[in-house]
Amino acid sequence: MSKQKYIGYAELKVLHFSLFSFLFSLFFFHFSLSTAQSLTLNQKGYLEKRGVNVMVYSNPFHAVFLDEKRSGIDVIHHGVMTITNGGVRLSDTPEQWDLVPEMKSRTVDKSTGGIDVKLSYKEYDFDSEIRVTPQAGGFIISVILPRPVPSALVGKAGFNLEFLPSAYWTHSYLADGKPFYFPRYASNDTQLQPLAEKVKQVNNLITSDLHNRQEFPVARPLAQANTFVMAPDDPLRMVTIRSDSPISLYDGRLLAQNGWFVARALLPAGKMGKVLEWYVEPHAMQDWVREPVVGFSQVGYLPSQHKEAIIELDPYDTHHPSSLDVYQVQADGTTQRILSAPLKEWGDYTRYHYAKADFSSITQTGIYYLQYGSQKTNSFPIAPNVYEKVWHPSLDVWFPVQMDHMAVKEGYRVWHAAPHLDDVVQAPNKTPHFDNFEQGDSLWSPFKPFDFIPGFEAGGWFDAGDFDIETGSHCSTILAMCTTWETFRPERDETMVDQQNRFVNIHFPDGKPDLLQQIEHGVLPIVAQIEQIGHACRGVNHATLYQYNRLDEPSTITDNRHLTGDERWLFTYHDHGLDVQAASALSATARVLRDFNPELSARCLKAAEKIWSDFEKEGQAYNRCLQAAWQLYLTTGKNSYIKDMESALMQSFQGNNPRRALSNLTLALQVSPKMSKKFLKNLRPYVEEYKKQLNQMLEANPYGVNVYGTGWGSNGSIISQGINCYWANKFFPDIVTRDDILRSANFIFGCHPFSNLSFVMGVGVKPKNVAYGNNRADFSFIAGGVVPGLLLLQPDYIENKDDWPFFWGQNECTIAQNASYLLFGNILSQMKE
Ligand SMILES: [Ca+2]
Ligand SMILES: [Ca+2]
Ligand SMILES: [Ca+2]
């Protein structure tokens, strides 16, 4: 059934209207824009003019997570990425798991400034080519087909370009001159189409819950026209699109809450060569200069610590002020300028210019703010106790909300009822699944596919913004929590955890340390894996994509009754790396819970020792299991576990890659009290080498940390850097200093590029407002979550959106990263002066 059949009277009227406007727009196109400045191809391989950057497949679609909405043709418009996904797509409003084209080639023509990409859908043997060429003040997008659209894709293959809802939803648009506004919430019409018409999604999965109906919903257009002017009311966001074939505008949020506004035109049937041409012109403000970002810690500073603001400047901001003023806010509400700190130019990094201002000389306890030019920051404290409570929301709120199999209440709110009470069944042999889960060819399990496996109806945390149980991240979470407990013994009790009644009450002390209650809860699915299957398993995930993609209250994802067919699957894929991690986590738990829960402690130790004896039988290399050996030694006191530890560690430092060679340095420092007398002395040159690496980072970028990630932000590695510095400082305070540890804290709490918001939800004067938790569709957050942070859009744009929670690589809080933050927060909270 073709799509045209569904076009109603309203759309026909729009089409009719657009014929007139087409003639008008041809005229307008040729005479109105010739004075606008043109885009030119820059050294970095994208099209540029002041205020507008056009990336053409600098970022290809992602092979695993598919449509990340930062691929294809992307536009950075006055400093904000607002347009993405320019490409040949197979549906009106593509979703994350819809097929994406593979990029076969990308050619840059330096003479025309044009960029040409060849795309291919191998599932349909469908090739296309997209050419982007600067023209007038904008650019022409041409779609060229070497062969006609395959019959299966006629009426489906089209050219799409997507607009960020949060950048447009307070604005209007014109469709062939007719006025409309962008809706704040999706409420346009949908219609059903026969399921046989649906273009397949990845691995033949399906994102919609069809309830056995043989139809699926599609969005109907908001408007159709030959000329769209988006946000003519705002010079920062105004974009004009013209084509002589009709363009439809859709609201992708109708089918998926993370959808965008999609401008789209179908490719004609039976035609080859140039089949479609759009002219796109993002309006450019000729004198536009991006506001400086004044980076500082939203948590504040200890009186004696190094204090530095890092200012991010637009390259056109050539007359920026040369000093930063620090004001103190007095008890009577008046303010007093305490210091005018001179700016020290740092230089260029990514696409901006950076300068620093040192205000370490201010040591008096008080409330301060920074003034840079006309920009006044929010206030922040300088005081001996600024770090004391930074980890509390993570333990009090974030981890309790992540608890699977429990009802979780906070004050008047129930975060969720007890979910997944019908866990679990054996996953079938299936490759691949989604979320990077797969069972592979074998089962490595005593159970048959879809058999019920007992022991998994309690414990565990939701991995992140999704609701699966990841074994690997559980093990790192548990180990970090055990390290936190043994190093700092935080007996904080703000949460009731009643395992028997599956009930958690936040801000309701029950006399038991919350951290031990979390460790106890998190280890249950791990110990169950060893007991039931005999080894650590990949994890537990949903059976269907339309269960997995839920972004709300999880207790209704399954019916909580056994063997009704909607249960989660235990993926029993056997990976020795996971066994090693499980042996570490289980033996640490056995030790930490020895008095708190002797029965569970004994089960954990038995499971850890079983894994270890399997290693020995299989002849696993000792140097791959050092952390597990160390944890087993600490728990059992058996010297045999560490008899080769010293030489294995020294050997591991001999690698060619200096950074990788030091990956065991923290473990080496931790074990050093139990090694020979000379061992710590032998570590000194490696700690000096580590310090050299820290100094090199300060030369590589203004912040001295691993600023951004690709695919996933780098806050995890920045927090690890702080933790590593803690251990290095503990044993070699003359080499690694307290300010080295605090470098990571300053960054996480707001002294970073793009914005100066704290990356820890609810922590600091101005934390981020949105995160990718299970409440992301409410544009909200769960307090205590740490977001991944800054993501690179190739080649030079780093961002962390705070008006759009749906970029998981920027905003998704995960258990392993949060446990690492919990440890780091405890390190910080010991610093008081
Ligand atoms: Ca997951
Ligand atoms: Ca408690
Ligand atoms: Ca069930």
Residue-wise DSSP of 671-730: HGGGS-HHHHHHHHHHHHHHHHHHHHHHHHSTTSS---BSSS-SHHHHHHHHHHHHHHHH
Q: Which two tokens stand for residue 432?
A: 């691949």
Residue-wise DSSP of 331-384: TTS-EEEEEEEEEEEEEEETTEEEEEEE-TT--S-EEEEEEETTEEPPPEEE-T
pTM value > 0.85: yes
Parallel, antiparallel or unpaired: strands 425-426 and 102-109: unpaired
> Which pLDDT score, from 0 to 100, does residue 658 have?
82
CA-nearest of 679, 605, 606 to 649 is 679
Residue 31 has pLDDT above 70, yes or no: no
Query: For 368-379, what is the mean pLDDT?
Result: 98
Q: Rounded CA gap, 293 and 663, in Å?
A: 34
CA of 491 to the centre of ligand 2 (A): 9
Q: Ligand 1 is a single-atom ion; what residues have CB below 5 A from it?
A: 435, 463, 466, 468
pLDDT bin (cut points 50, 70, 90) of residue 81 is very high
Portion of the chain with pLDDT greater than 70, in percent = 96
> Which pLDDT score, from 0 to 100, does residue 651 have?
95
For residue 463, the ligand closest to its alpha carbon is 1
CA of 470 to the centre of ligand 1 (A): 6
Distance of CA 37 to the CA centre of its chain: 36
The 10s digit of each residue's pLDDT in 764-808 is 999 999 999 999 999 999 999 999 999 999 999 999 999 999 999
For residue 498, the ligand closest to its alpha carbon is 2
> Which pLDDT score, from 0 to 100, does residue 66 have?
82
For residue 543, the ligand closest to its alpha carbon is 3
CA of 428 to the centre of ligand 1 (A): 19
CA of 567 to the centre of ligand 3 (A): 5
CA of 814 to the centre of ligand 2 (A): 22
Residue whose structure tokens are 């859709």: 250
The 10s digit of each residue's pLDDT in 377-388 is 999 999 999 999
pLDDT bin (cut points 50, 70, 90) of residue 35 is low
Q: Which two tokens stand for residue 223?
A: 């408007």
CA of 804 to the centre of ligand 1 (A): 20
Q: Which residues contact 357 (CB under 8 A, 6 or more apart)?
A: 308, 309, 311, 323, 324, 341, 342, 343, 344
Q: Rounded CA gap, 620 and 626, in Å?
A: 11
> Which pLDDT score, from 0 to 100, does residue 655 have?
85
The 10s digit of each residue's pLDDT in 92-139 is 999 999 999 999 999 999 999 999 999 999 999 999 999 999 999 999
CA-nearest of 77, 503, 575 to 285 is 77
Q: Rounded CA gap, 707 and 413, in Å?
A: 37
Q: Please return the burial class of 539, using the count of CB atoms within 10 Å of its CB with bins 0-12, 13-18 and 19+.
A: buried
Q: Rounded CA gap, 138 and 280, in Å?
A: 6
pLDDT higher at 744 or 659: 744
- Pure H helices in 40-139: none
CA of 510 to the centre of ligand 2 (A): 5
The 10s digit of each residue's pLDDT in 651-700 is 999 988 888 889 999 999 999 999 999 999 999 999 999 999 999 999 99
Q: Ligand 2 is a single-atom ion; what residues have CB below 5 A from it?
A: 493, 495, 510, 512, 514
CA of 429 to the centre of ligand 3 (A): 20
Work out the mean pLDDT of the chain and round it to a whole number: 94
CA of 462 to the centre of ligand 1 (A): 8
For residue 506, the ligand closest to its alpha carbon is 2
Query: For 453-463, what is the mean pLDDT?
Result: 98
Taking the CB of residue 491, how many other CB atoms lie within 10 A of it?
Answer: 11
> Which pLDDT score, from 0 to 100, does residue 833 have?
80
Query: For 625-634, what is the mean pLDDT?
Result: 97
> Which pLDDT score, from 0 to 100, does residue 64 have?
74
pLDDT bin (cut points 50, 70, 90) of residue 12 is very low
